[in-house]
Amino acid sequence: MIVYWAPGAGLGHVTRGLAVLHTLHPGVRATLVTTSREVCRVPFTAAHDVVVVRPGDRGSLVEAGAALLSAGPVESVYLDAFPAGLRGEWATLGTAGVRTVHVARRLQLGAYHAAVGEHAPRFDACWAVEPLAPAHEAWLRQRSGSFDALSLMDPPSPEEAAPPPHTWLVVHSGPRDECAALLHLAERDAHAAPGPVHVVVEAPALTGRPLRYPAIRPGYARIYSGAGFNACRQAPRTGARHITLPFARRFDDQPWRHRRQQMRGVHDLAA
């Protein structure tokens, strides 16, 4: 059994986990662990066994991890984003005889260590799904049997009719003030556009509707989003002009991702 451990707010960890599994283990059924009750809206999870655990304290996550390890033969455990888990739960869970893999994205390592401590498992392998800060990469290389970059491919989405021309997408699953800031930016740009523009809003905090999944699809002329990992990976692949606003996160580094996309020329500075 492959266990992909992806607790965290929203569906970002789940989305990355599905892409990792599809890239490395296509067609293999895995156990995907999340704290998001919104996971029921993700169609691709039907290909896997999904375990929703309480997003509470470290103890509850340790208990959930121990239950999985004792429930049956576990071949591999993938730890998403956080080297020791969301609350540091994998610092004490025994992984002897289990292949332990870390999927690393940009992480404010100092803030993470201050919150959960510096203890983490030793990894048989580490896959970096985006460039890491030098200190972060060095720390992971010291405790990983192998360290390699991995370019992710998402599971194929059902085909849908493309949106009409000159349609822009505002997409964000975060709090109302962040969604409002993105919508304000899109409306400001639409007002200055030379022709009519239709703005589609996929932001539950504003619309009261669940976020369509996947929300980022080909056919939009522009996409407005935060500078989260999945948005910055998926939006440029659609061919849309991608405009991001970096939001403050405890462990993620959205300002870095926003600057990197600027330097790569995939979107303009949203200012």
Mind spelling out the 3-state secondary structure of 36-81? CHHHHHCHHHHHCEEEECCCCCHHHHHHHHHHHHHHCCCCEEEEEC
Are the C-beta atoms of residues 267 and 261 closer than 8 Å to each other?
A: yes
pLDDT the model gives residue 264:
67
Q: What percent of the chain has pLDDT over 70?
A: 97
Cβ count within 10 A of residue 248: 8
**SS3 of 34, please?**
strand
Q: What average pLDDT score do residues 75-99 get?
A: 92
**What is the overall mean pLDDT for the chain?**
91
pLDDT the model gives residue 265:
60
Q: Does pLDDT of 22 surpass 70?
A: yes
CB crowding 3-38: b at 16 or more within 10 Å, else e: bbbbbbebbbbbbbbbbbbbbbeeeeebbbbbbbeb
**Both tokens of residue 267?**
């979107």
Amino acid at 10: G
Segment 137-190, tens digit of pLDDT: 999 999 999 999 999 999 988 888 889 999 999 999 889 999 999 999 999 999
Q: Does pLDDT of 270 surpass 50?
A: no
Domain ranges of the chain: 2-149, 167-264
Cβ count within 10 A of residue 85: 26
pLDDT band at residue 58 under the 50/70/90 scheme: confident
Structure-model confidence comparison of residues 267 and 65, the more confident one: 65
Q: What average pLDDT score do residues 233-237 get?
A: 93
Q: What average pLDDT score do residues 14-25 get?
A: 96
pLDDT the model gives residue 266:
52
Give the architecture-level CATH label for domain 2-149.
3-Layer(aba) Sandwich (3.40)
Q: How far apart are CA 80 and CA 219, in angstroms?
A: 30
Q: What average pLDDT score do residues 49-62 get?
A: 86
pLDDT band at residue 271 under the 50/70/90 scheme: very low
pLDDT the model gives residue 57:
79
| Selection from 118, 200, 104 nearest residue 160 by Cα | 200
Strand order of the sheet with strand 198-202? 198-202, 167-171, 222-226, 241-245
Q: How far apart are CA 53 and CA 86, in angstroms?
A: 12
Segment 89-145, tens digit of pLDDT: 999 887 888 999 999 999 999 999 999 999 999 999 999 999 999 999 999 999 999
pLDDT the model gives residue 267:
47
Q: What average pLDDT score do residues 5-19 get?
A: 90
Residue with structure tokens 């200012």? 271
Amino acid at 179: C
pLDDT band at residue 268 under the 50/70/90 scheme: very low
> Rounded to 10 degrees, what is the CA torsion of 20, 26, 30, 36?
40
pTM for this model (two decimals): 0.92
Structure-model confidence comparison of residues 9 and 238, the more confident one: 238
